[in-house]
Structure 1
Amino acid sequence: MNSSLTAKTGMKDTIPTLAGYIGVGLAFGVVAKAAGLSVFVIILMSVVTYSGAAQFVIVSMLLAGSTFFAILTSVFLLSTRMFLMGMTVAPFLNQESMTRNIILGSLLTDETFALSMNKLNYTNRTLSFPWLNAANLLAYSTWIVASGFGGALGSLIPNPSQFGMDFAFLAMFIGLLYLQVAADRTISLTLQLIMILIVLGLVYVGLILIPSNLLLIIVTLIGCGMGVALKHAFF
C-alpha cells in the first residue's frame, strides 16, 4: 500500500481483501441454497442487500419462520453500524461532493472501511472518490459473483455446517481486526489491545442482558465512548 489515491491503486489495494469476499460469499451461497433459496434469489439478495451479516441473518430468520417485519427490523438494527462507519470516513472526503459521498457510503462495507482506515496511514489522512469507489465496486462485484457460485454449488453440499462454512464470516472479521491493529500507526497498540478486551467483555455481558438485534449497535456506542475516554485520559 502506498500514498496513491487513483482508481487503479484502489483496485490494487483491494485485491488482498477479496479472499474474504470470495470465501464468505461462497459460504453464504451454499448456506442459502441449503435453506431452499434459488440461485437467482441468492444473487438478487447480494445485489440489493449487499451485507454478509444481514444476508446470513435473513436466511436464518426465514428458516425460523420469522415475519417480514421482524426480518426487516433485525437487518436494519444490524446495519446501523454503517452509519457510524460512514460518519467516520466522511471527514476524510470533505473535498468530494455530497452525491459522490452518498455513492461511496452506499457501497461501503466492513472490509472497505477497514481498508480506508489503513490507507489513511499512507496518505496524510485523506481519501479520494476514485480510490474508494474503485475499491467498493471491485468488492461489490466479487461478492455478487462469489455468492452466485456458492448458490450454484450449494446442491452439492446439503449440510454446509459440517465443513465449518458457518464460521467463515467470523474468521473474516478476525482477519480484519488483526490487519487493522497491525497497520494503525495513530493509536497506541496497548490501547488497541485494551479496547479489544473491553469489547469482548461487553459482548459477553451484553449477550446475557441485551437483545441480540440491539447488541451490536449498543456495544459499538459504549466501546467507542470508552475508547475516546481512555485515549484522552491515558494515551
Structure 2
Amino acid sequence: MISFMTDELDIRTAIKDTLPTVFGYIGIGLAFGVVSQSVGLSVLMVVLMSAITYAGSAQFIMVSMLVSHNPVVSIMVAVFLVNARMILMSTVVAPYFKKDSMWRNIFIGALLTDESFALSMNKVNYTDHKMSFEWFNTANLIAYFTWMIASGVGALLGQLVAHPERLGLDFALVAMFIGLLYLQVIADRSLAKSLQLIVILAEAVIIYLGLIFIPGNLLLVVGTLLGCATGVVIKHAFY
C-alpha cells in the first residue's frame, strides 16, 4: 500500500493528511447526536457538549449517566477517568513543541484526541520525528469542528434514525482506528514489523483479560501502561 503522507508539515498538507479520518468523526458524531436526542437532549445541548467536553467516549457516558440521574460529582469522576489517557498522550506529544510558546502548547493539548494523536505518531515517521504547530493545530481544528457539526446534525436527524447501530455508525470510530493502526505499522521503519505485531497481540490479550478484572473507566489507562511496558521488555529482551 502506498501511503498518502509526505514529510511536509504545513497547513495544506495537514488538511490532506487529516481528511481520511474525517469520516470516522462524522460517523460517531452522528451516532452521538442521534443517541442524545433520543434521551431528550436538545440540539443546542448536544452541540455545546461537543464543543465544551469534546470527548466522544466520555460524552456517551455523560448522556447515559444523565439519563440514570447520577450525581454530578459521579459524572465528573467518570469523565475524568475515561479521559485520563490524554495525560499519557500529552506527555508523548509535548517534546515536539518545546520551542513553541506555552499558549501554543495549551491549545494543542486542549484539542488533542485519540485520532489526532495516532495521526501525528504516523506523521513523524515521514518527517524524521519532527512536528510543527501549524500541522498539528490544523489537524486538531478539523477534528474539532467536524465533531461538533456531525453531532449537531445527528441530533437534528435523531427523530428519523431511531437505531443508528443498524447503519453501522457505531463501528465508524473502530474502523478508523484500525486504519490508523495499519498505517502506523507500515510507516514505522525504526521498529521491526514482527515486534510491532507481537506488541499489538499482547495488548489485545491485556485488554481482553482486563475486561474481566478491571473497571472499564480504568482499563484504557491501565491497558496502555501495561502494553507499553510489555513492548519495552520484549524489545530489549529479543530485539
- 2:200 corresponds to: 196
1:216 aligns to 2:227 (yes or no): no
Separation in 1, partners of 2:128, 2:169: 39
Separation in 2, partners of 1:2, 1:176: 16
TM-score where L is the length of structure 2: 0.92
Q: Structure 1 runs of 4+ off > 6 angstroms?
A: none
- 1:155 is paired with a residue of what secondary structure? coil
Separation in 1, partners of 2:234, 2:81: 27
1:3 aligns to 2:11 (yes or no): no
Query: 1:231 is aligned with what amino acid?
Result: K
Q: Per-residue deviation at 1:202?
A: 1.2
Instruction: Select which of 221, 225, 229 maps to 2:229.
Output: 225
TM-score where L is the length of structure 1: 0.94
Query: 2:67 is aligned with what amino acid?
Result: L
Separation in 1, partners of 2:159, 2:139: 32
Q: Per-residue deviation at 1:89?
A: 1.2
1:22 aligns to 2:26 (yes or no): yes
| Identity between Structure 1 and Structure 2 (%) | 56
Residue pair 2:90, 2:109 contacting (<8 A) in 1 also: yes
Q: Per-residue deviation at 1:43?
A: 0.3
1:33 aligns to 2:37 (yes or no): yes
* Pairing 1:1-235 to 2, within 5 Å after superposition: 1-235=5-239
Separation in 2, partners of 1:175, 1:67: 38
Relative to 1, partners in 2 of residues 1:166 and 1:3: Cα closer, same or farther, differing over 3 Å?
closer
Aligned residues: 235
Segment of structure 1 superposing worse, 39-48 or 188-197: 188-197
Residue pair 2:25, 2:173 contacting (<8 A) in 1 also: no
Q: Per-residue deviation at 1:19?
A: 0.9
Residue pair 2:23, 2:172 contacting (<8 A) in 1 also: no
- 1:154 is paired with a residue of what secondary structure? coil
Q: State the superposition RMSD in angstroms.
A: 1.5
Structure 1, unaligned stretches of length 5 or more? none
Q: Per-residue deviation at 1:157?
A: 1.4
Separation in 2, partners of 1:61, 1:166: 19
